Amino acid sequence: MTDPETRLKELLAKIEDLKGFSREQGIELDQEVAALEKKAEALREKLYSNLSGWQKLQLARNNKRPTALDYFQLLFTDFIPLHGDRQFRDDPALVGGIALLAGRPVTVLGHQKGRDTKENIARNYGMPHPEGYRKALRLMEQAAKFHRPIICFIDTPGAFPGIGAEERGQSEAIARNLRVMAALKTPVINIVTGEGGSGGALALGIGDCLLMLENAVYSVISPEGCAAILWKDASRAKDAAAALKLTAQDLREFGVVDEIIPEPAKGLQESWELGLPAIKEALVRHLDILEHLPGEVLLQRRWRRLHALGQWQE
Amino acid sequence: MALFRKTKYATLSARPGAHKDIASKCPGCNAIQFKEELEKNLYVCPACDYHFTLTAWQRISITFDENSFEEMDAGLTSLNVLNFPGYEEKLNRARESSGLTEAIITGKGLINGEPALAGIMAPEFMLGSMGAVVGEKIARMLERAGSEGIGAIIFSASGGARMQEGIFALMQMAKTSSALSRLHDRGVVYISVLTNPTTGGVSASFAMLGDINIGEPGALIGFAGPRVIEQTIGQTLPEGFQRSEFLLEHGMLDMVVARKDLKATLSRLLRFHRRGGRE
């Protein structure tokens, strides 16, 4: 038996053949075509619901998916970008501002990847320096001041490993975000839209509700890094991707993720228009619930959620 | 009297590595140091001041007043929740070779008479990596510090989050940091002692969040490991990069304290922050 991907390709070719034949010969074949299309759709669904961790990682890294700034423009209205950490510089790898979600003011933050090499160099491939996290912290504290909910879009290979980043305290910047986010008296929604890479992702990752797109991944280390450290062989990244259990589906099963937002067939990169409404709907729905909770209740809930993470024997 | 007395030779055990039981080569200056001398000198090389990495119990014995340390939550052990290949074997090997149950010991003790809650990371157990048990033990210890109003100290020595526990290891950064946020709100002091090495998810969570951050001399402290940075930027790193003294210079530590002065420094700091104000 051929693999499902080849079968789907053959089926799609057959459908095109039939359509062409029908047009040329003037023979009515709509029913047959519809039946085959239905079959192809089912096959496609099956194919994409059985993706391995490694395949999901490739989808999550696809540079045709929307970036944070795309989400800010397309899911919200009246987005106003805000810049800078007030200490060193404005980090282009981490963007943020204020915007309206279905009419209500929110603070939005996100890792910003580029769409091509030139953009990616300017955005440092979505890998923030400490000043990026400090900008995020400033905007989050500002949001809490005005009782504005916060929505964080997570999509990064990780925090940047470089000399300047270490000199300026990458560890301290991430750690401080974790501590302060645990105590923000305003609702925080975190959504992993692509690549949730380690501590650099987590620095925007503490909140009241964790959402993941269907093909997003979230991991303690990149599969490449894991394979290099554990097996001294980066080419075993596929095995590491499976072992790390980093897909949205794995994490939902673990109870770490609250909800998976479905993507269009073949992934969000194929059709933004089909995928974005589900994201907006989920954000609005969760915010509707969270914004009625008093600050103290939010903090209690957040602590209980975090404290419950992990299992052990006693 | 025998004319030809057989010369007697002292025989050394042929077991390979036997000399390691009585002597160590200093990684700082390559000099051979006798274990007994080292122990007397708090495991600091008398020749070059290199601070050897301590096991958790060595750290406890040089820090806490004799017989004052009471361990808590010793029975917590890790599970292979991800079914990660080879993890159970690794855990078993670590338990055997270290004699510990996990990569941290937590408890309460006295430092020159000052009570403290403490977490002492064990680099001899899977490089001190943080999984769910390390996170839980730290969270419980900090909660107790908060409810008893007694200062907390964590001695970090870790390569970061434990890969084999995947997302749960990552989330321990969040858990320990939020436990610190609760302690912070209660106005109880937290002192972080960063020892060699403190990197990755441990440095990017509780280790950098001390009201007072103390580094041991020469300790490697950083977010990314030096090799990763070298590979990323394609150049060799300057001498002393990511060492305690470098971090002090760049404003990330309050002080670098030699091991011989650490106990006194900690007890002074605890006294300063004792609940109920002045003595």
Higher pLDDT, A110 or B228: A110
Tell me if chain B has a CB within 8 Å of the CB of A234: no
For B100, the token pair is 């510990």
Instruction: Give me the residue spans of the domains in chain B.
Output: 21-52, 53-272
pLDDT value at A151 more than 70: yes
What is the DSSP-derived secondary structure letter of residue B23? E
Q: What is the model's pLDDT at position A123?
A: 97
- Quick one: chain A helix, strand, coil %, rounded to 5? 55, 15, 30
To the nearest whole angstrom, how far is the Cα of A51 from the nearest Cα of chain B? 18
Question: Same domain for A62 and A40?
Answer: no
C-alpha dihedral (B139, B141, B145, B146), degrees to nearest 10:
20
Question: Same domain for A147 and A163?
Answer: yes
Q: Which residue has the tokens 């991907």?
A: A5
Question: Using N-to-C axis directions, what is the helix angle for A53-60 and A223-231, rounded to 10°?
Answer: 130
- Cβ of A307 and B175 within 8 Å? yes
Higher pLDDT, A253 or B277: A253
Of B161, B167, B205, the CB nearest to A254: B167
- Cβ of B171 and A310 within 8 Å? yes
Question: Same domain for A106 and A10?
Answer: no
Q: Which residues in chain A are contacts of B170 at CB distance < 8 A? A: 198-199, 202, 218-220
% of chain B beyond a pLDDT of 90: 83
To the nearest whole angstrom, how far is the Cα of B273 from the nearest Cα of chain A? 21
Question: Does residue B134 contact residue B105 with C-beta atoms inside 8 Å?
Answer: no
Q: pLDDT tens-digit profile of A188-200?
A: 999 999 999 999 9
Of A163, A205, A246, the CB nearest to B166: A246
Count interface pairs A-B at CB distance under 8 A.
186
- Cβ of A162 and B163 within 8 Å? no
Q: Which residues in chain A are contacts of B85 at CB distance < 8 A? A: 239, 243
Compute the C-alpha angle A304/A309/A313, nearest 5°: 115
Return d(Cα B198, Cα B203) in angstroms, integer: 6
Higher pLDDT, A275 or A31: A275
CB atoms within 10 A of CB A121: 10
ipTM: 0.92
C-alpha distances (whole Å) from A216 to each of A46, A159, A189, B83, B265 are 18, 18, 16, 21, 47
Question: Same domain for A78 and A44?
Answer: no
Instruction: State the CATH number of the domain containing residue A130.
Output: 3.90.226.10
- Cβ of A182 and B229 within 8 Å? no
For residue B12, the number of C-alpha atoms closer than 13 Å in the C-beta half-sphere is 9
To the nearest whole angstrom, how far is the Cα of B30 from the nearest Cα of chain A? 27
How does the average pLDDT of chain B come out, rounded? 92
Query: Of B88, B199, B208, B223, which to mutate for an interface test with A (greatest number of A Cβ within 10 Å)?
Result: B223
Distance, C-alpha B95 to centroid of its chain: 17
Question: Same domain for A67 and A151?
Answer: yes
Of A183, A226, A313, the CB nearest to B79: A313
Name the pLDDT band for A84 (thresholds 50, 70, 90).
very high
Q: Which residues in chain B are contacts of A57 at CB distance < 8 A? A: none
- Cβ of A310 and B135 within 8 Å? yes
Of B139, B167, B233, the CB nearest to A220: B167
- Cβ of A165 and B82 within 8 Å? no
User: What is the DSSP annotation of A17-43?
Assistant: HHHHHHHHHT---HHHHHHHHHHHHHH
Q: Which residues in chain A are contacts of B233 at CB distance < 8 A? A: 162-163
Q: Which residues in chain B are contacts of A230 at CB distance < 8 A? A: 163
Return d(Cα B204, Cα B223) in angstroms, integer: 6
Q: What is the model's pLDDT at position B84?
A: 97
Name the pLDDT band for B8 (thresholds 50, 70, 90).
low
How does the average pLDDT of chain A come out, rounded? 94
Q: pLDDT tens-digit profile of B85-124?
A: 999 999 999 999 999 999 999 999 999 999 999 999 999 9
Question: Same domain for A41 and A94?
Answer: no
- Cβ of A219 and B185 within 8 Å? no
Question: Same domain for A116 and A40?
Answer: no
Looking at the DSSP bridge assignments, the partners of residue A210 are A190
Domain total in chain A:
2
Question: Does residue A275 contact residue A263 with C-beta atoms inside 8 Å?
Answer: yes
Name the pLDDT band for B4 (thresholds 50, 70, 90).
low
Name the pLDDT band for A23 (thresholds 50, 70, 90).
confident
- Cβ of B163 and A166 within 8 Å? no
Compute the C-alpha angle B221/B224/B230, nearest 5°: 110
- Cβ of A309 and B169 within 8 Å? no
Question: Same domain for A92 and A200?
Answer: yes
* Owning domain of residue A88: 54-307
Q: What is the mean pLDDT of residues A218-246?
A: 93
Question: Same domain for A22 and A88?
Answer: no
Compute the C-alpha angle A254/A257/A260, nearest 5°: 115
Tell me if chain B has a CB within 8 Å of the CB of A231: no
For residue B222, the number of C-alpha atoms closer than 13 Å in the C-beta half-sphere is 24
To the nearest whole angstrom, how far is the Cα of B229 from the nearest Cα of chain A? 5
C-alpha distances (whole Å) from B12 to each of B9, B15, B18 are 9, 9, 9
Residue A105: strand, helix, or coil:
strand
Least confident range of A71-85, A101-115, B10-24, B193-207:
B10-24
Return d(Cα A14, Cα A36) in angstroms, integer: 9
Tell me if chain B has a CB within 8 Å of the CB of A226: yes
- Quick one: chain B helix, strand, coil %, rounded to 5? 40, 20, 40
For A122, the token pair is 């300017």
pLDDT value at A5 more than 80: no
Q: Which residue has the tokens 């959620």?
A: A305
Q: What is the model's pLDDT at position B243?
A: 97
Q: What is the mean pLDDT of residues B265-279?
A: 83
Of A175, A251, A306, the CB nearest to B175: A306
% of chain A beyond a pLDDT of 70: 98
Tell me if chain B has a CB within 8 Å of the CB of A124: no
Residues in Cβ contact with B10 at an 8 Å cutoff, skipping those fewer than 6 apart = none
- Cβ of A199 and B223 within 8 Å? yes
Fold type of domain B53-272 = 2-enoyl-CoA Hydratase; Chain A, domain 1 (3.90.226)
Q: What is the mean pLDDT of residues B118-140?
A: 98
Q: What is the model's pLDDT at position A24?
A: 86
Question: Does residue B132 contact residue B55 with C-beta atoms inside 8 Å?
Answer: no
| Chain A residues 190-219 with a CB less than 8 Å from chain B | 198-199, 202-203, 205-206, 218-219
Tell me if chain B has a CB within 8 Å of the CB of A121: no
Give the amino acid at A226. Answer: C
Of A166, A176, A180, the CB nearest to B224: A166
Return d(Cα B159, Cα B197) in angstroms, integer: 7
pLDDT value at A17 more than 70: yes
Question: Same domain for A164 and A26?
Answer: no
- Cβ of B204 and A244 within 8 Å? no
Name the pLDDT band for A258 (thresholds 50, 70, 90).
very high
pLDDT value at A231 more than 70: yes
Q: What is the model's pLDDT at position B233?
A: 87
pLDDT value at B230 more than 70: yes
Is A313 a domain residue? no
User: Nearest Cα to A131, choosing from A184, A81, A172, A186?
Assistant: A172
Give the amino acid at A123. Answer: R
Q: What is the model's pLDDT at position A166?
A: 96
Question: Same domain for A266 and A222?
Answer: yes
User: Nearest Cα to A183, choosing from A306, A94, A101, A98?
Assistant: A306
Question: Same domain for A95 and A43?
Answer: no
